[in-house]
Amino acid sequence: MLKHPTIDKLLEMKLVGMVRALQQQVDMKELQSLSFEDRLGLLIDAEFSERESSLLTKRLKSARLRQPACIEDIDFKGARGLDKRLVGQLASCTWINERLNVLITGKTGVGKTYVACALAQKACRLGHTVIYFRAPRFFQELTVARINGSYSRLLKRLQSFEILLLDDFALVPITEEQCRDMLEVADDRCGRGSFIMSSQLPVKEWHQTFSNATLADAILDRVVHGSYRLDLLGPSRRKPKNGGNESEDT
């Protein structure tokens, strides 16, 4: 008798998971033999799972990851230079709580973006917030923000994410203005947030891509010190598909 009014009230309180579980309990006779406490527990568990799933969906949407990568799908076969134990350690995401960074390097096509996105996706699954940028677009957005007066607002937004993922870092020379922007971002995150950065260049060669050596020293001191490093090896993993150059693991 109270089924429909009860469901209406649950929906009004946005308890969608509980509504679904309640409807299942009504339809499944074997659940009706459970005690009140057990059935209530199942309803609460369902609502908790629904909310966790909804939050994860929002975190992944906000992250805007380039690839739908998953840590469990990383290929450790072959001479890729991937330390399975280190990747497993990074998958625990303790480095995020310690405000450390992950730097991923290797030639084009060896899987840097996939590994970076996989680590970011796992971080999202564990409740952390991530934002993804290709480095050229990242610097472009900072330049536009400086011009239209939203620079401070953009810096504050970037600071709100626990992880800033910069893909294809140091792919092209970094100008004087970009050096200053990068220092602002790196300084904001130092001890407060983490980077995941991928690059075709070895970390030891990053310094030469900055136009200002003094700013480069300050930036790299904040980014490189105490970081975890993955140096991927092997041939390109890009596979032609339908006449194109699609990649399973870029």
pLDDT digit string, tens, across residues 75-92 = 888 778 898 999 999 999
Q: Is the model more confident about 152 or about 23?
A: 152
DSSP string, 116-141: HHHHHHHHHHTT--EEEEEHHHHHHH
Burial of 63 (0-12, 13-18, 19+ CB in 10 A): buried
CATH 3.40.50.300-classified regions of the chain: 64-231
Cα separation, 170 vs 207, in Å, equals: 9
What pLDDT score was predicted for residue 250? 54
What percentage of the chain has pLDDT greater than the value 90?
65
pTM, 2 dp: 0.80
Residue matched to tokens 């790299």:
220
- Distances from the Cα of 135 to the Cαs of 2, 97, 165, in angstroms? 57, 24, 9
Q: Is the model more confident about 141 or about 4?
A: 141
Cα separation, 117 vs 94, in Å, equals: 17
Question: Under CATH, domain 64-231 is a member of which superfamily?
Answer: P-loop containing nucleotide triphosphate hydrolases (3.40.50.300)
What pLDDT score was predicted for residue 25? 74
Neighbours of 182 (CB within 10 A): 25
